[in-house]
Each structure stands twice: as C-alpha cells, then as structure tokens.
Amino acid sequence: MSAVRSTPPKAPELDIRKTYKLYIDGKFVRTESGRTYQVAGGRVNAPRGSRKDVRNAVAAARKAFDGWSGRTAYNRGQVIYRIAEMLDARRGEFVSLLGKGPAAEREVDQAVDSLVWYAGWCDKLHAVAGTVNPVAGPYFNFTFPEPTGVVGLIAPEEPALLGLVRHLAPALCGGNVIVALVSESQPLAGLVFGEALATSDVPAGVVNLVSGSHSELLAILAGHMDVNAIDVAACNDSEVKQVQLLAEANVKRIVRSDGTHSLEAITSLMEMKTVWHPIGH
Amino acid sequence: MAAVTSTPIEALLRQVPPVDQVAVEERAASLASRSIKKSSKLWALDLAIRVMDLTTLEGADTTGRVRSLCAKALRPAPGDPSIPHTAAVCVYPSMAAVARECVGDSGVHVASVVTAFPSGQSFLAVKVAEVKTAVAAGADEVDMVIARGAFLAGDYAKVYDEIVAVRKACGEAHLKVILETGELGSYDAVRRASHIAMAAGADFIKTSTGKVSPAATLPVSLVMMEAIRDWYQFTGRAVGFKPAGGIKTAKQAIAHLVLVNETLGADWLTPERYRIGASSLLNDILMQIAKQRSGVYSSAGYFTEA
C-alpha cells in the first residue's frame, strides 16, 4: 500500500515579473521596434514605442471613431463610469505602482473621481454648452458641440496616473478617440491603466496608450494628417511651437489644458456646429 | 486485364509533383519580411497601381458606382498627374458596357467576371453565352471561375474542357482563370489546377474571387507562380499571374511584388504578365506615396473614394 500524502509539497514562491506593453486597438502589444527603456529606478523595462506604433494607434483610433462618437451620450457616460469602477477595483496595484503611501492613494482616488465627474457630463454637456440662437430671419438656429475626431494627448510626467486620466476623460466624454503618450519617466501606471480600459466596455481603438520618448514621438503625432486635435498638456514652450508648426498642415486644434475639472476641458476638444433650419413664413 | 484509360490532362497531371508545404510557407514568409524603403518603395507603389485591376463585384453595384470606379481607375489622384492609371477595372458582365463607355481608349482595360461567378455552378452553354455577351459588351479581358465542384470530385477533364470552351468563346479577349484556391483544400490541388488552366490556354491564372477566405495568401501565390515558371520552362509560353482578394495594404502589395520578382523575375513585373485584383488597396497606396513625399502620415480623408 502506497503512502498517501496529506499535504502537497509547497511550491517555491516565484517572482512573477510583469511584461509591460503598449495598448493599441484593444490589444496589449510589444512595440513594433522591439525597443525598451529602463524605468522605476532601472528595475523595469518599459516598451519604447516607435513612429510605427503611433501610426498603428492613429489608424486604430480612426477606425473606432464612428462607433464611439455614434453611441448615445448616455451610453458613453455608462462606459466612462465603468472605467472608474475598474480603476477602483485595481486600486492596490496602482497604489503600489505610484509608490505606495497616502499620496499614491490620494492620486488613485482623484483619478477615479475625475472619471466619475466626466461620466456624469456626457449626457448633459449638449444641453449646457449648446445654444438656441436668436437670428433675424425665418430660421430655427441652434449650435451644439460635436467631437473633433482623433485626439493626440501628451500626458504630463507627473502625476503619472492622474495626469493621464484627467486629460483623457474630458476628451472621451466629448466622443473623441485618443492616442496618448503616457508619462515618459513613469509610464507604468499609464500602461496598466490600459488594463482597466480593456475590462470596462471601452471599444477597441477608442483609447490607445503608447510609452516612449516624447521628443521622438511628438513630431509624429503632431504631423499626422489623421489627428484632428492635440492636447499639449505636458509640453514646454519650444515643444508647443514645434507642434504648432507641424499642426498647420491639417489645421489641428491645439489645446493646453491644465487638468482642472471643467466643462471647458470637454468643449475645448469639440467643434461647435451651427444649424440654420428654415421655419414657416 | 482491362487497360486503365485516362484523358490527356490526367496523363499530364501525373507528371506534376506534390508541393513541399513547409518549404513553401517558409520561403513566402522570409520574402515577405524584406524591407523596401525610400525610392525603391515609391517605385514599387507606382508599379502596384499600374498592375492593379480596380474591382467592384457587389450585388449592389449600380451604373453610377461603376462610373465612379472608372473615374478612380483613370485618375486615382485627380490633383496629381504623376499618379498612373490602373491596368483595368473589373466588374460584373452586366456592367461591362458601362465600364467600356467610361474608360474608352484610355488604355485602362475592362475585365468582366464570367462563368456564373463566383460559384461557377451553372451549365456550360450558359457560361459560354455569358462570355460571348460580355465580350460583345466591351470586355477585353474575362475572368472565369473554374468548376470547383468538378475539380474536387476528380473530374479534371471536365474542368479542362470548360476552360477550353471558354477560351474559344473569348475570341480576342484575354482569359484569366480563377482557381478559387480557398476552396481547393491543398497546395497540391492548387498546383494541379494551375497546370490544368495553363494547359487549357489561360493567359493568366488568378487566385481567388474575393468572395472566399482565405484568398490570395503569399504561399498560395508562390505555388501558382512556381507552376507558371515550370510551364514557361517546359513550353516556352509565358502565363500571367493575378492574386486577388484580401490584399488591402500597400505593405501586402509590396510583399507580393517581391515574391514575383524572386520567383518569375522582373519580366513579370508588367501589367501584361501581372495584375493585382483589389479595391481598398488603391487609396492605401496613395496614402503611402503621400507619406513618402511629405514625411508625415496621411489621412484617408484626403483621397477620393472609388
């Protein structure tokens, strides 16, 4: 008779190290270039995205635009609220990526709050930002905001998560699709934010996250003819100048929002459309 | 003992060796990884337009849609005279006359699909009549489908006889024979079908209708081009090749051109011997040309729709 083992042998605790990847078209991909750079004090290799990653991200965003902007505002609000739920569910991971402690906890809380705040605006902004205009003629004349299209976002270096989220949420709220360059020096929280997006009913391609050298990728994003607006949140004055020169070819909208919660943050990435509707004489 | 009888085409097929699947896929993959840059890329993109059969094959095709396609074929980028016209437009037979009227004598050919495209499941008499009507309507190239039902049942003689009959009905028109490789099941079958088509007098052999997936994959293209090469060596007759279906990006098109150059040689890199059947590919190529010239990535919004 063979001996019956009462307890299985204990497996050694392996250090399972995570491979951080770009988030493009709803998939987690390694950079096309195969390059990485060291972050988190040299402990982690982050993907160093290339111009082709940006190109793929813009193509994915363009493909996703009609679907996302065509959803009802109410549904967009639900989806953005869901991102807040998923971010909150991964609270522990984000807090430890942001360096633990009360400051890190506060940053995650604020990011969740920011998403909830903008989720609420989705189905209200048209009523608040739109107008009915008195005109001297037999027309019913009204103005309402429409999404601009593909928005490029250069996220601030710090705060790594909150900086990304509070610039990304207003763009999403308005029905835009986004290609974001996450914080260059601290890209991990931004990249992991993709995992919250991937599990929260955000359609593939609506948000694309690329890490890497901002100075290398900025010109690609600013020059891309299929990018309609660019939020230069994290750029210094000479970079803004560079973006302005490159953005001229397709007249990109350039905004430099400060990240505070406001209706202006949403509408600055939207276009006001005015309709002249004839009425009876 | 009764003698085993066989038709001449069956005797021919017994000499056709099987395909080494692993080697074919490896070679196609390794050639596809080649990087073509700068001026070579611009040359390849220009060639890809010159060999393109710009195609619309939808039940919803209207005369307006076909006219629009023809205008796109004649002037792919209306603001840029340096962009060449495509080799042909490819339409259903009912639209051949409309296409002929639009392209006139511009050098753009009119290709019509025939023989109960895309299934090929009809009577020979009907198919022959369709070919004659399409040619009379102005098609100078006809794209026929082989009878896959007969092929898969092993009735190679019937497949061969049908192609011969269509060849005869074509008159002066060029004949492209669509094998619909996605339905043939194996590379061996693709190679056999290629030989049947060439023996029956095809001017071109073509991979697919575009209605079945997989369509023009690189390995299947390689198998067919090797068959063309063998045929050229044994008979001295140069048969053209047309991959069609699933080629949507400039990158894929360039991979196909590399495969042609390495298999059949530069002699085949002309519209007389090589075509690419496509629709959305054209604007992707125009976008890539714009990128090469301006240095910034372009947008589909700046190009006309076919």
The predicted-structure confidence for B148-204, as pLDDT tens digits, reads as follows 999 999 999 999 999 999 999 999 999 999 999 999 999 999 999 999 999 999 999
Residues of A in contact with B295 (CB under 8 A): 223
Q: Which two tokens stand for residue A238?
A: 């000479």
Residue entry with tokens 């009915």? A132
Residues of B in contact with A224 (CB under 8 A): 296-297, 299
Q: For residues A164 and A154, is the Cβ–Cβ distance under 8 A?
A: no
CB distance B298–A226 less than 8 Å?
Answer: yes
Q: For residues B166 and B131, is the Cβ–Cβ distance under 8 A?
A: yes
Question: Of A240, A33, A274, A9, which is closest to residue A133 (Cα–Cα)?
Answer: A274
Q: Which residues of chain A approach chain B closer than 8 Å at the C-beta?
A: 55, 58, 62, 220, 223-226, 246, 249-250
At A224 the three-state DSSP class reads coil
The reported pLDDT for the residue numbered B152 is 96
Report how far residue B7's alpha carbon sits from residue B3's, in angstroms, rounded to the nearest whole number: 13
Residues of B in contact with A58 (CB under 8 A): 297
The reported pLDDT for the residue numbered A3 is 56
pLDDT digits (tens, 9 = 90+) for B122-131: 999 999 999 9
> Which of B294, B295, B297 comes nearest A226 by C-beta?
B297
> Which of B296, B300, B301 comes nearest A223 by C-beta?
B296
Q: Which two tokens stand for residue A126?
A: 């048209």
Residues of A in contact with B301 (CB under 8 A): 225-226
Chains A, B: CB pairs < 8 Å: 27
Count of domains observed in chain A: 1
Query: What is the signed CA dihedral for A83, A89, A90, A95, rounded to 10 degrees?
Result: 110
CB distance A58–B297 less than 8 Å?
Answer: yes
Q: Which two tokens stand for residue A260?
A: 């505070």
For the entire predicted model, the pTM comes to 0.89
Report how far residue A169's alpha carbon sits from residue A153's, in angstroms, rounded to the nearest whole number: 11
A184 Cβ contact partners less than 8 Å away, ≥ 6 residues apart = A157, A211, A212, A213, A214
At B305 the three-state DSSP class reads coil
Mutate to test the interface with A, among B35, B283, B296 (most CBs of A within 10 A): B296
Residue A7 within a domain: no
Q: Once rounded to an integer, what is the mean pLDDT over residues B37-60? A: 96
User: Pairing relation of β-strands B174-178 and B141-145?
Assistant: parallel
CB distance B299–A226 less than 8 Å?
Answer: yes
pLDDT digits (tens, 9 = 90+) for A3-15: 556 666 677 788 8
The reported pLDDT for the residue numbered B3 is 55
Nearest residue of B to residue A223 by CA position? B296
Q: For residues A86 and A119, is the Cβ–Cβ distance under 8 A?
A: no
Which residues face B91 on adjacent strands?
B112
Q: Which residues of chain B approach chain A closer than 8 Å at the C-beta?
A: 294-302
Q: For residues A20 and A29, is the Cβ–Cβ distance under 8 A?
A: no
Our CA-based measurement puts residue B24 at a distance from the nearest CA of chain A, in whole angstroms, of 26
Nearest residue of A to residue B299 by CA position? A226
Report how far residue B169's alpha carbon sits from residue B125's, in angstroms, rounded to the nearest whole number: 11
CB distance A225–B297 less than 8 Å?
Answer: yes
Residue entry with tokens 């290398």? A216
Regions of chain A short of the pLDDT cut 70 = 1-9, 281
CB distance B297–A224 less than 8 Å?
Answer: yes
Q: Which two tokens stand for residue B136?
A: 């009379």
Mutate to test the interface with B, among A225, A246, A248 (most CBs of B within 10 A): A225
Our CA-based measurement puts residue B288 at a distance from the nearest CA of chain A, in whole angstroms, of 12
What is the fold of B19-302?
Answer: TIM Barrel (3.20.20)
Residue A2 within a domain: no
A131 is in which domain, residue-wise? 22-32+44-278
Our CA-based measurement puts residue A246 at a distance from the nearest CA of chain B, in whole angstroms, of 9
Give, in order, the Cα–Cα distances in Å from A266 to each of A125, A152, A167, B227: 8, 14, 9, 61
The reported pLDDT for the residue numbered A132 is 96
CB distance B297–A249 less than 8 Å?
Answer: no
Find the angle CA(A51)-CA(A55)-CA(A57) to the nearest 5 degrees: 115
CB distance A225–B295 less than 8 Å?
Answer: no
Q: Is B212 left (phi over 0), alpha (psi -120 to 50) or beta?
A: beta
Residues of B in contact with A61 (CB under 8 A): none
The reported pLDDT for the residue numbered A13 is 80
Amino acid at A255: V
Whether the complex's predicted ipTM is more than 0.90 is answered with: no
Residue A131 within a domain: yes
Signed CA dihedral, B3, B8, B9, B12: sign only: positive
Residue A255 within a domain: yes
Question: Of B145, B193, B191, B176, which is closest to residue B276 (Cα–Cα)?
Answer: B176
Residues of A in contact with B294 (CB under 8 A): 249
The reported pLDDT for the residue numbered A233 is 84
Q: Which two tokens stand for residue B187?
A: 């590379």
Q: Which two tokens stand for residue B235?
A: 């008979």
CB distance A62–B298 less than 8 Å?
Answer: no
CB distance B300–A58 less than 8 Å?
Answer: no
Backbone angles phi, psi at A98, to 5 degrees: -90, 10
Is pLDDT at B36 greater than 80 in this prediction?
yes
CB distance B300–A226 less than 8 Å?
Answer: yes
Our CA-based measurement puts residue B296 at a distance from the nearest CA of chain A, in whole angstroms, of 6
Kindly indicate the confidence band of residue B133, based on its pLDDT and cuts at 50, 70 and 90. Answer: very high
The reported pLDDT for the residue numbered A5 is 61
CB distance A62–B299 less than 8 Å?
Answer: yes
The reported pLDDT for the residue numbered B243 is 98
Q: For residues B128 and B143, is the Cβ–Cβ distance under 8 A?
A: no
Average pLDDT, chain B: 95
Residues of B serving a catalytic function are 143, 206, 242
The reported pLDDT for the residue numbered B305 is 86
Kindly indicate the confidence band of residue B8, based on its pLDDT and cuts at 50, 70 and 90. Answer: confident
Is pLDDT at B227 greater than 60 in this prediction?
yes
Spans of all domains in chain B: 19-302
Signed CA dihedral, A30, A34, A39, A44: sign only: positive
